[in-house]
A and B are shown apart, each in its own frame.
Chain A
Amino acid sequence: MDEREFDDFYAASYARLVGQVHAMIGSRDEAEECVQEAFVRAWAHRRRLDRADHPEAWVRTTAHRLAVSRWRRTVLGRRPADRAVSAPVAAPPPSEAHVALVAALGRLPEAQRQALVLHHIADLPVRAVAREVGVPEGTVKARLSRGRAALAALLADDDGLQEGAHHA
């Protein structure tokens, strides 16, 4: 991948990946930072990226792993000056429905959330989701089915969400 190809890839997929990772981890700022860092690593390891069948999936997986690791580090940190997530970046407030969906996704098991996001937001077919998360297609279908049911219940439940899920 040469400079121009990388720049085109970056411009075309950055916003999409931030949205997808946001839906996976629940934090918009974290998502943008992790996607940014994943692209830095993508350029640093572009030979590896060249060999990847799906460069966008490589960046998404890297960003997700970075986010999960940062989250665990923050949550598990007991000492105050531990490494932490960076300061939030100011952004316009999202719609209530948008917030509600992110909050509901955040209450699902990680595997179901990842499957839903990859299938419904990243628009990947089940086969591609299975390849990306490394499980059989049947497992992905089961996760999607359970995840959709749980999500619908959460979105319909007035008390199910702590923030912003009110649709009069």
Chain B
Amino acid sequence: MPEPTDPADLFTRFLAEEAPVHPLPASEVRRRGDRLRRRHRALTAAAGAAAALLVATPLALATRGAETAGLDPAAPSPTATPAPGDVDWVTGVPADFPLGAGLRGLSEQPEVVPGFAPDPPVRGCQGGAYTAEAPVRAVDAVQLDAPNAPGSEGGVQRGLLLYADDDAAREVLAAQEAALADGCGSADPLVSDLGEGSVVWVQRSGDAGEGELVQLVTVGNAVLATSTTFGGAGDAQVVEQTRELAQSTSALVVSSLCVFAADPCSQPPGATDADATTAGDRVPDGFPLTAGYPDDAAAGSGQPGLQELSRAVGPLTLAACGREVALPPGRTDLVRAGWSDRDDLRLRNLAVFARAEDARAYADDVLALHRDCPVDTGATGTAVETAVVASDLGEQAGVVVRSTTGADAAPPQVLHVVRVGRAVLVSLVTGPSVPAGSSPAEAAAQSDTAVREVAAAMEVFAS
């Protein structure tokens, strides 16, 4: 019989008994932080540039409410944050605030209606508690509903709420974070780093894999709530892709929230990044990263479908046998495109590096990761056999095919890794387009034609 252990005693000794830490040098942490900050600026700039194409009329931010301070069409204001008492918070949503921007495939722009209740876009945990009255009373609110099809329950809903000040807006997020920490039904929080603060979670319902991804973003005294219903919510990759899709389609709206900041902008940022790179460092406009993908319309209702080339995404991290290969630093550009349906996921990441040797090292790492892992049981406990097939694409390439065996074997995953000069393409296909039971060579060949077209276009990065 063991002797009872006093938790208080263990707590007291806990930190002293912790193993030594191995922190990065502070200068490296700051360098990475600066890089992250630059990337966010670049994403915001990209969203602004996209706005020029998406919005037919210039954003002349008139106001519906009484307070219009800071909305004149001038350059963004200085970055110094005014003292809290000096801020004239905007108390009315501007009449042409682009709440519906980025919603694709709609025959007409959804109507923005005032108010948030009685059918709020965000239902909080287990329904109902999140309105213009709770957890904090809003001073103004608008919302829109963009169903996938007339009468459909699926689609995107957005709500924009303004509060008395930024403390009140932050309280809304804090309340949701606390609810998530307490379990929040079947909700799962996801990582998010949007605006001045954000919370993103997925709420699953039933056994049919239906899910609702909710994104709350605050800037100044505003909270933008976006709800996206989707299928395949039990699949982590579908969830992640839906999160990225929601983030990219709402990028302009999020960037436009700057008009509600304590130090407001006058218009969504559309200028190029201050760290703009030279031609050849960036993936050119019109690059055919979606070559060979099905049309958007081929995706089922409520499914993400085609995702055009975008910079509003994070890097694709690959893992096998407990080891992970992330994109290394030294990149000058990173873009992604994809196509997905309920059971079909296709993603392409194209990274451009400052130096060809960095690109070569990354491609080597990705291929070595899989060569060194012929059988991976991973977190699922299912044995996955991995083969790396030679490829003649680009200057350096390989095709990773990961398959399971048995009666219930899933279709193989096919990962093309292609380097041309300073650019590396990682193209992932998984789903019924590659039949289960295909040999590695057959699986590699299935998606080779489409990747070949992308590889040819990568000649612009040739050494």
Chain A interface (Cβ < 8 Å from any Cβ of B):
3, 6-7, 10-11, 14-16, 18-20, 22-23, 28, 32, 36, 39-48, 51, 65-66, 68-70, 72-89, 91-92, 94-95, 97-98, 100-101, 104, 110-111, 114, 116, 120-121, 133-135, 148, 151-152, 155-156, 158, 165-168
Contact = CB atoms under 8 A, between A and B. Distances in A.
Interface in B9-43: 10-11, 13-15, 17-24, 26-27, 29-30, 32-34, 36-37, 40
Interface stretch (B61-69, B99-107, B229-237): B229-237
A76 to B, nearest CB: 4
Contacts of A120: 7-8, 11
Interface string B39-53: 010000000000000
A86 B319 CA distance: 8
B23 A14 contact: yes
A40 B324 CA distance: 20
Contacts of A83: 236, 240, 316-317, 319
A40 B24 CA distance: 10
A43 B33 contact: yes
Given A41-B193, A72-B190, A87-B323, 16 more contacts: A3-B30, A6-B26, A10-B29, A43-B32, A72-B189, A79-B237, A79-B410, A84-B319, A85-B319, A88-B322, A92-B19, A98-B10, A101-B14, A120-B11, A121-B15, A152-B4
Interface stretch (B108-116, B152-160, B171-179, B300-308): B171-179
What is the interface of chain A mostly: helix, strand, loop, or mixed?
helix
The 4 closest A-B pairs by CB, nearest first: A43-B33, A134-B178, A84-B319, A120-B11
A54 B236 CA distance: 34
A18 B362 CA distance: 30
A42 B33 contact: yes
A85 B324 contact: yes
A167 B3 contact: yes
A104 B14 CA distance: 13
B2 A133 contact: no
A163 to B, nearest CB: 14
Contact of B188 (A51, A76, A78, A92): A76
Contacts of A74: 379
B196 A48 contact: yes
B233 to A, nearest CB: 10
Contacts of A85: 319, 324
Contacts of A100: 5, 10
Nearest to B16: A19
Contacts of A82: 236-237, 319
A66 B200 CA distance: 12
B266 to A, nearest CB: 20
A82 B319 CA distance: 7
B318 A152 contact: no
Interface residues of B, number: 75
Interface in B186-208: 188-191, 193, 196-197
Contacts of B428: 81
Nearest to A32: B21
A19 B10 CA distance: 13
B36 A44 contact: yes
B23 A79 contact: no
Nearest to A120: B11
A94 B445 CA distance: 50
27 contacts: A3-B30, A7-B26, A7-B30, A23-B14, A28-B18, A44-B40, A47-B79, A47-B81, A69-B190, A76-B235, A76-B236, A77-B380, A82-B237, A84-B322, A85-B324, A95-B17, A97-B5, A98-B17, A100-B5, A100-B10, A101-B10, A101-B14, A111-B181, A156-B2, A158-B1, A165-B5, A167-B3
B443 interface: no
Nearest to B345: A79
Contact of B29 (A43, A75, A91, A148): A43
Nearest to A77: B236
A41 B1 CA distance: 48
B444 to A, nearest CB: 15
Contacts of B21: 14-15, 18, 32
Contacts of B18: 15, 18-19, 22, 28, 94, 98
B413 interface: yes
Contacts of A158: 1-2
A111 B181 CA distance: 7
Given A22-B18, A94-B17, A101-B14, A78 B23 contact: no
Contact of A10 (B2, B26, B177): B26
B181 A6 contact: no
Contacts of A70: 191
Contacts of B34: 43-44
A77 to B, nearest CB: 4
